[in-house]
Structure 1
Amino acid sequence: MEYLDFELPIKELEEQYQKACNIGSESNVDVTATCKQIEKKLAETKKKIYKDLTAWQRVQLSRHPNRPYTLDYINAICGNTFLELHGDRTVKDDKAMIGGLGKIGDQSFMLIGQQKGFNTKTRQYRNFGMANPEGYRKALRLMKSAEKFGVPVVTLVDTPGAYPGLEAEERGQGEAIARNIMEMTRLKVPIIVVIIGEGASGGALGIGVGDKVLMLENTWYSVISPESCSSILWRSWEYKEIAAEALKLTAKDMKKQKLIDEIVKEPLGGAHSNREETFEAVKNAIISSYDEFKNLSPTELVNKRIDKYLDMGVYKS
């Protein structure tokens, strides 16, 4: 188990608890009272730390190395019904963007999302979850297939941004993302978007337009990362915590500004602290969201989605 800086008091108490339990099991000394006391203090400390996290701490939790990624959610929610589909039929198969058909309960979905790696080798293989233009074109191809067969779409967003390399720009990164945004606004099947980690810039928007946009509690969604914002404004990453607060990028901020529709609560300590509970919460949120839109006609669905996005940013002076 890895701990973030602000989680170190929890680490110390957990180590104390483990030592006390080991002493009890290795000797005849009764340490039940001590263990209960440490356990109580541990629960109180966790509650205190996670009760009021700062924006930067939530950003750190969204990047936690033990946090589940897209394939973890898909495998847990769909089981062995998931069939991955590959390629954009133009350039190649982008490993940072995955997609395919899967069943949640009795309903089939087209599931699409960015996939990060869990070690050095897989991070390079998945390009750190940063898709090239062919990744977004693959996503669009799968969405169009879903539309053709009347299958609802679920997208799982977790990316530090679209890949900013020269070759990506040469192959039309901006155009690919812009086309996805346009096509998603008029797709004739329900689209449910779930932000499961980082939701950065156009990389997130390329699969982020939906009838229902959900955010896990400890995730972020913004035009720029706190570090990049800090480096632009202050020429240094030292002000990333100030930038994180100013950007209003947390789930609560997004909900308050009506840029997302619902916050999915995470277990105490983050999604990685109890994966099964997190998977169940996301599964229930997807099913509930689909139930809201499944009986709408394609015309009603598209009109409602377009109106939703046209209303964003409108205010009366």
Structure 2
Amino acid sequence: MRSYLEFEKPVADLEGQIQELRTLAEKGEAVDVQDEIAKLEAKAAQALNDLYQKLTPWQKTQVARHPDRPHFTDYVAALIEDFTPLAGDRAFGEDAAIVGGFGRFRGQPVCVMGHEKGSDTASRLKHNFGMAKPEGYRKAVRLMETAERFGLPVISLVDTAGAYPGIGAEERGQAEAIARSTDACLGLGVPNVSVIIGEGGSGGAIAIAATNRVYMLEHSIYSVISPEGAASILWRDSARAQDAATGMKITAQDLLKFKVIDGIVGEPVGGAHRESEKVIAAAGDVVAQALADLGEMTSDQLRDARHDKFLAIGRGL
């Protein structure tokens, strides 16, 4: 059963009516309802299109967090052949919030890693809602170092509200682990490409997204802090998250304008969760093109281009 966001209520009502008519027709309790269904479908499609033509930053935040949005494991299943995950940081333990390993992307051996939020209660608890602890970022460093040793490009898929803020994580060096992972990204001598597929939250995102090319799905968000967190700090009122989302410039469209990202992957009307296969394929096309463009560069050129890219953010605005 499809779940709807609060602002999608007009569409939910129309699609509910369509389903009721179909149920009545199947039971033989209604005749000649096809014309009415067609009219309602057209009306629902138009209502959805109208809504998504003018989404606010807060509404985009809700879309980015939609529980049915395709997750890391969905992208891996569709894009990566012979995926072999690696576990553990060789220092403390395994962190399921970041999943990573090696496989073939359109015939090319690659390292792929990313945040996994989980798709139901059990998997969300297992993956800690995509909020990694220090061992997750240390695992990411291990993966990147292995990829460089074998000359393999790195693909990162980002979807996290942020790094886990618990006491245990801080005691084990959360800030240091994030910093080392970010440094590992910046220092790689192989091409690396990242795609923000949902939420790109704070250092938890940048730790694996300090890459040669950074892309965002059309309705994803990328920010230094969540809108709720910003509202709590600025106004001591998390209920003002909508105001914070508007002022923080967290949408793909704003961030492309500020040259924080390199491109936007389009989504169907209604968000990535309505046509997951199409969105995943489009993201794969963008990554493939980026890897092809970067493939001819030397290790020094890749590092220099990456450093220049991040140093240039915000200049000349």
Query: 1:212 is aligned with what amino acid?
Result: R
For 1:189, the equivalent position in structure 2 comes to 190
Distance in 2 (alpha carbons) for counterparts of 1:138 and 1:95: 10
- Match 1:57 to one of 59, 72, 76: 59
Query: What pairs with 1:158-169 in structure 2 (closer than 5 Å)?
Result: 158-169=159-170
2:194 partner SS:
strand
For 2:238, the equivalent position in structure 1 comes to 237
Query: 1:175 is aligned with what amino acid?
Result: E
Distance in 2 (alpha carbons) for counterparts of 1:30 and 1:181: 61
TM-score normalised over the length of structure 2: 0.96
1:151-189, Cα deviation, whole Å (9 max, x unpaired): 000001111111111221121111111112222112000
298-307 or 20-29, larger mean C-alpha shift: 20-29
TM-score normalised over the length of structure 1: 0.96
Q: Is this contact kept in 1: 2:97–2:131, CA < 8 A?
A: yes
34-43 or 145-154, larger mean C-alpha shift: 34-43
Gaps of 5+ in 2: none
Query: 1:268 is aligned with what amino acid?
Result: V
1:75 partner SS:
helix
Identity, % of aligned positions: 45
For 2:22, the equivalent position in structure 1 comes to 21
Cα distance change on mapping 1:311 and 1:32 into 2, 3 Å:
same
Question: How far 1:21 moved relative to its partner?
Answer: 2.9
1:82 partner SS:
strand
113-122 or 21-30, larger mean C-alpha shift: 21-30
Distance in 1 (alpha carbons) for counterparts of 2:120 and 2:21: 33
For 1:148, the equivalent position in structure 2 comes to 149
1:259 partner SS:
coil
1:287-317, Cα deviation, whole Å (9 max, x unpaired): 111111011111111111111111112237x
1:68-92, Cα deviation, whole Å (9 max, x unpaired): 111111111114x111011111110
For 1:227, the equivalent position in structure 2 comes to 228
2:250 partner SS:
coil
Q: Is this contact kept in 1: 2:162–2:203, CA < 8 A?
A: yes
For 1:101, the equivalent position in structure 2 comes to 102
1:83-139, Cα deviation, whole Å (9 max, x unpaired): 101111111011111100121111111001111122222222111111111110100
Gaps of 5+ in 1: none
1:108 partner SS:
strand
For 2:139, the equivalent position in structure 1 comes to 138
1:312 partner SS:
coil
For 1:66, the equivalent position in structure 2 comes to 68
For 1:126, the equivalent position in structure 2 comes to 127
2:129 partner SS:
helix
The two structures, once aligned, show a CA RMSD in angstroms of: 1.3
Query: 2:33 is aligned with what amino acid?
Result: V
Aligned length: 315
Distance in 2 (alpha carbons) for counterparts of 1:285 and 1:6: 30
Question: How far 1:43 moved relative to its partner?
Answer: 1.4
Q: Is this contact kept in 1: 2:144–2:184, CA < 8 A?
A: no
2:20 partner SS:
helix
For 1:77, the equivalent position in structure 2 comes to 79
Distance in 2 (alpha carbons) for counterparts of 1:115 and 1:208: 15
Distance in 1 (alpha carbons) for counterparts of 2:272 and 2:249: 21
Distance in 2 (alpha carbons) for counterparts of 1:267 and 1:208: 24
